[in-house]
Amino acid sequence: MTLILNTWIFESDVKSGTKQADLVDRVAKLGADGIEVRREYFTDLDSELPEVAKRAKTNNLIVNLSVPDVVFEDDGSLNPKLDEYFKEGQILGLKKIKFNTGHFDRFTGDLKKDFARFPLDEIEMNVENDQTAVSGKVSTIKTFLTAANSAGLTSLGYVYDMGNWGFTHGDAEQAAKELAAFTHYIHLKNVINNNGELTTSDDLDRGMFDWRALLKLLPSDQYYALEYPMATDAQISSQIKLFKDEVGA
pLDDT average, residue stretch 32-47: 98
- Decide the pairing of beta strands 157-161 and 124-128: parallel
Residue 129 · residue 168 · CB < 8 Å: yes
Using CA atoms, how far apart are residues 228 and 133, in angstroms rounded to an integer? Answer: 22
Tell me what pLDDT residue 81 has: 98
pLDDT average, residue stretch 120-138: 97
HEC-encoded secondary structure of 191-203: EEEECCEEEECCC
The residue type found at 186 is I
Does the pLDDT at position 182 exceed 90? yes
Tell me what pLDDT residue 154 has: 94
Give residue-wise pLDDT tens across range 53-100. 999 999 999 999 999 999 999 999 999 999 999 999 999 999 999 999
CA dist list (Å): 91 to 1, 5, 45, 186: 26, 20, 10, 24
CA dist list (Å): 135 to 22, 148, 162: 32, 16, 14
Does the pLDDT at position 249 exceed 70? no
Does the pLDDT at position 248 exceed 80? no
Orientation angle between helical segments 138-150 and 172-179, nearest 10 degrees: 0
- Decide the pairing of beta strands 197-200 and 191-194: antiparallel
